[in-house]
């Protein structure tokens, strides 16, 4: 079947024209011989539209693999005869990661790298007035010479950004400069009183004879009023690329660009031949000046400006990396509405719409290339990395939002043998990486002396020991004390000491964060429990400490949105859930902590929407937290007032309240400037008494955990407790959690299996006599050999499981559920006994249901 797009004369005005060619592609998820040739049928191929990735779902397979390899895309394109006198380019905003492009069977070019744009001149391969076959082979397989090598995010394969057909006249702005616009705009002089604009670039004459022409740049303000014009007459011989470099006169009282006032001018650049516009490009322009200081941090337009930021990965649930422009716009608005004025685009250049929205919304940008963790100190790898830097900088050079270019991230975290290590001991390898780092940083400075260079480093002394921290102009540091290890209070202590020891360093926190899962909640949060309460505690502490660190240039939360991270564990396998919002872009409670502190718009928010269904003892105190920037807040529950509180240093207020069984209406109210702001939620409370009542029906326990787990059916698995007569609980053992890197597979109840009771001796339910279904949940938490952990399980004295060996039967990380019917007789309840044969018995969950 033939699907084609028609490019017709009605769409071809005199200058440059551009069409989206996103629709009606054919896709084959494998290699194919002669797929670039028209004789090869694509009738059986899948019909798709761009953007597209073939990895939207498979990074979450239980076997911890996702397909990285070759796929093919094809499209039939009718190109009108009227375009035969133009130069025609195929422009890709992004395809991951090696793309080979063919037109009518002819190879037109290859691009390496998955995150920058590329374009090819396809004029000579087109059939004008006829159908044309576009074929693209895309390969996202691991390549040791193309960054990234070690990937802490999914390397989605596909043509996942927009594709355009661009037609220009033979005399045109240069289309061959790293897929840039061919025009580069800077502001060599800016103040509140006056500014100048420098515009440089090049024009290509693809005609057969020499051409005399005029370059005109017109600068318009936001109301489309002409501010100034600069122009130059030039002569270009046939085939010649002619450069230009023009500077405007003084522009009086420029409207300065800032996060509070993201005022944009527009530069309209034209090539005029014989009085006719033959090419035109529009670029944004923002007047601002900025600087970094090791003592006072960051300043913008002559005033101190604390960078309040976050990181952003581009993927999303159900779509992978193939987001629409509307998705990108929504993301940037969510970041701005949280109160951010800064965003790090990690760990790669992002969609043009992201940069456009940063300009429009007033978000300062750190953009970087994907030289992440693992390094290959080889010339080819270095050259590919340099090329990525040039492409990123030249393509996004004209965005006033960009203030720093990043060249690498945590490059001393891995050894030359691709192993994650704590301390580097191979001096030769480290020196090779350092030379590499110097060259990349030098590339940044040479490409764009108007901005700052940076690199992100993890909290290792090696960066200072080997001189890495002195390479870039700004030192970015990724810190997770209080999550992966240590305590949250170490944050300011570590950086106060770093500032004392290395007073020349400009310090910027490029990553910090803790993970949360909306299905996990607790009154007693602890490190690594994945509860929303611990995530909020972590960020509340860091935020409070930042306010007393005036030398910091700024901070960037890791991450704004949960994102895919194949082959990592925790309570959601293959996910990094440190986000302020979930993978499907629903803000978590912690989002509003930052909004209450960073966004001046008055607000009151009851921070319990991540825990609207909770359980506990009758009459037990329940915590209700509120984030508000209105000052004092009054809280009522079911109409009963619990008083008026003042916020702490991070605009948090807390109450201990009594929730009744069933629904509870929680109302928080604040007043600012005479206006009342309120937030109302309904919390459903289920009673779980320590004593088992005669009417007992069921109970599920999140064994070995301090937290409650709510499963997909809405059932609460209550936090664990030691046994007390008349009730229920464990006998013996200690609470434990899996290693955070361990994958949990073969279950939809992943959070339930993350914790376990280690060396458990028994579990007792003092339930009434009767017949019960007992469910036991197991997982092998360690990577051990068979026969290293063997135990028996008996129920009310009857052997249920003999010599169970989880490692031998299932392997590490495989969730196992076992059910048995148990009879409670003579007031003895149900008693589960674990008999040690070798190693410690373990239990991850237990559920008892009366039949």
Instruction: Count Cβ atoms below 10 Å from residue 848 Cβ, excluding itself.
Output: 24
Contact 657, 679 (CB under 8 A): no
545 Cα distance to chain centroid: 24
| Torsion region of 839: left, alpha or beta (phi above 0 gives left; psi -120 to 50 gives alpha) | left
Candidates 640, 621, 624, 600; CA nearest to 679 is 624
Contact 704, 758 (CB under 8 A): yes
Contact 843, 703 (CB under 8 A): yes
For residue 436, give every residue at least 6 positions away whose Cβ sits within 8 Å of its Cβ, in sequence order, or none: 375, 377, 382, 385
Beta strands in 617-712 (DSSP E): 621-628, 633-637, 640-645, 652-658, 662-672, 675-687, 698-702, 708-710
| Residues facing 70 on adjacent strands | 139
3-state secondary structure 502-551: CCCCCEEEEECCCCCCCCEECCCCCCCCCCHHHHHHHHHHHHHHHCCCCC
**Whole-angstrom distance, CA of residue 744 vs CA of residue 500:** 43
Contact 108, 120 (CB under 8 A): yes
Contact 358, 328 (CB under 8 A): no
Out of 410, 447, 505, 515, the active site residue is: 410
Candidates 257, 249, 251, 253; CA nearest to 231 is 249
b/e 607-646 (16+ beta carbons within 10 angstroms → b): bbbbbbebbbeeebebebbbbbbbeebbbbbeeeebeebe
Contact 638, 685 (CB under 8 A): no
Q: Cα 322–323–329 angle (5° rounding)? A: 165
Q: Is 367 a catalytic residue?
A: no
Tokens of 502: 């290395």
3-state secondary structure 153-198: CCCCCECCCCEEEEEECCEEECCCCCCCCCEEEEEEEECCCEEEEE
Number of H helices, E strands in the chain: 10, 56
Tokens of 701: 């326990």
Tokens of 797: 């004295």
Instruction: Count Cβ atoms below 10 Å from residue 550 Cβ, excluding itself.
Output: 12
Omega cis (within 30) before 51:
yes
Known catalytic residues are: 410
């Amino acid at each position: 079947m033939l699907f084609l797009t028609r490019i017709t004369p009605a769409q071809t005005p005199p200058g440059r024209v551009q069409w989206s060619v996103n629709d009606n592609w054919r896709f084959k998820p494998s290699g194919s011989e002669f797929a670039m040739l028209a004789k090869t049928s694509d009738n059986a191929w899948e019909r798709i539209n761009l953007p597209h990735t073939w990895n939207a779902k498979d990074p979450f397979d239980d076997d911890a693999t996702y397909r990285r390899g070759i796929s093919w895309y094809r499209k039939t394109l009718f190109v009108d005869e009227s375009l035969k006198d133009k130069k025609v380019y195929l422009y890709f905003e992004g395809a991951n990661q090696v793309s080979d492009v063919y037109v009518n069977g002819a190879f037109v070019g290859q691009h390496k790298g998955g995150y920058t744009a590329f374009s090819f001149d396809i004029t000579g391969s087109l059939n004008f007035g006829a159908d044309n076959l576009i074929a693209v082979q895309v390969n996202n397989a691991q390549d040791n010479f193309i960054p990234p090598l070690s990937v802490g995010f999914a390397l989605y394969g596909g043509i996942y950004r927009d594709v355009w057909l661009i037609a220009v006249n033979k005399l045109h702005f240069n289309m061959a400069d790293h897929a840039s616009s061919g025009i580069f705009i800077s502001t060599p002089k800016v103040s509140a009183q006056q500014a100048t604009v420098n515009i440089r670039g090049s024009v290509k004459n693809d005609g057969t004879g020499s051409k005399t022409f005029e370059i005109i740049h017109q600068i318009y303000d936001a109301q489309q009023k002409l501010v100034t014009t600069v122009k130059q007459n030039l002569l270009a011989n046939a085939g010649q690329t002619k450069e230009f470099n023009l500077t405007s006169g003084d522009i009086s009282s420029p409207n300065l660009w800032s996060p509070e006032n993201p005022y944009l001018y527009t530069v309209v650049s034209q090539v005029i031949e014989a009085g006719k516009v033959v090419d035109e490009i529009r670029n944004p322009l923002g007047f601002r000046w900025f600087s970094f200081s090791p003592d006072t941090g960051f300043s913008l337009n002559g005033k101190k400006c604390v960078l309040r930021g976050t990181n952003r990965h581009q993927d999303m649930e159900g779509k992978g990396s193939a987001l629409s422009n509307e998705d990108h716009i929504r993301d940037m608005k969510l970041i701005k509405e949280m109160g951010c004025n800064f965003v790090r685009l990690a760990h790669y250049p992002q969609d043009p719409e992201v940069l456009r929205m940063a300009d429009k919304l007033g978000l300062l940008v750190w953009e970087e290339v994907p030289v992440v963790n693992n390094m290959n100190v080889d010339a080819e790898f270095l050259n590919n990395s340099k090329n990525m830097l040039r492409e990123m900088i030249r393509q996004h050079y004209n965005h006033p939002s960009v203030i720093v270019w990043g060249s690498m991230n945590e490059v001393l975290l891995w050894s030359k043998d691709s192993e994650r290590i704590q301390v580097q001991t191979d001096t030769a390898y480290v020196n090779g990486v350092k030379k590499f780092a110097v060259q990349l940083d030098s590339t940044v400075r040479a490409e764009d002396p108007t901005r700052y260079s940076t690199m992100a480093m993890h909290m290792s002394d090696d960066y200072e020991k080997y001189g890495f921290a002195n390479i870039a102009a700004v030192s970015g540091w990724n810190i997770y004390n209080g999550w992966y290890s240590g305590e949250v209070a170490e944050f300011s202590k570590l950086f106060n000491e770093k500032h004392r020891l290395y007073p020349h360093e400009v310090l910027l926190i490029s990553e910090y964060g803790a993970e949360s899962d909306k299905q996990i909640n607790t009154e007693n949060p602890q490190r690594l429990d994945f509860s929303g309460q611990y995530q909020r505690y972590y960020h509340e502490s860091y935020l409070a400490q930042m306010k007393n660190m005036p030398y910091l240039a700024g901070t960037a939360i890791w991450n704004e949105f949960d994102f895919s991270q194949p082959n990592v564990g925790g309570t959601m396998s293959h996910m990094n859930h440190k986000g302020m919002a979930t993978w499907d872009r629903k803000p978590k409670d912690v989002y509003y902590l930052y909004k209450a502190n960073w966004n001046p718009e008055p607000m009151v928010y009851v921070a319990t929407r991540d825990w609207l269904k909770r359980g506990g003892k009758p009459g037990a105190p329940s915590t209700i937290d509120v984030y508000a920037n209105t000052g004092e807040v009054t809280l009522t529950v079911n109409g009963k007032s619990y008083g008026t509180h003042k916020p702490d240093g991070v605009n948090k207020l807390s109450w201990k309240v009594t929730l009744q069984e069933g629904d509870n209406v929680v109302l928080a109210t604040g007043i600012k400037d005479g206006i009342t702001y309120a937030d109302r939620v309904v919390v459903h409370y289920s009673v779980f008494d320590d004593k088992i009542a005669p009417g007992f029906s069921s109970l599920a326990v999140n064994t070995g955990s301090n937290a409650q787990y709510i499963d997909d059916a809405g059932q609460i698995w209550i936090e664990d407790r030691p046994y007390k007569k008349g009730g229920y609980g464990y006998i013996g053992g200690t609470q434990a959690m899996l290693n955070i890197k361990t994958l949990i597979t073969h279950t939809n109840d992943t959070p339930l299996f993350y914790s376990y009771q280690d060396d458990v001796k028994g579990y007792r339910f003092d339930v009434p006599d009767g017949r019960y279904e007992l469910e036991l949940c197991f997982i092998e938490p360690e990577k051990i050999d068979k026969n290293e952990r063997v135990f028996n399980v008996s129920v009310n004295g009857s052997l249920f499981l003999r010599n169970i060996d989880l490692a031998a039967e299932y392997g590490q990380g495989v969730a196992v559920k076992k059910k048995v019917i148990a009879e409670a007789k003579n007031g003895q309840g149900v008693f589960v006994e674990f008999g040690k044969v070798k190693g410690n018995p373990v239990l991850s969950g237990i559920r008892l249901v009366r039949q």
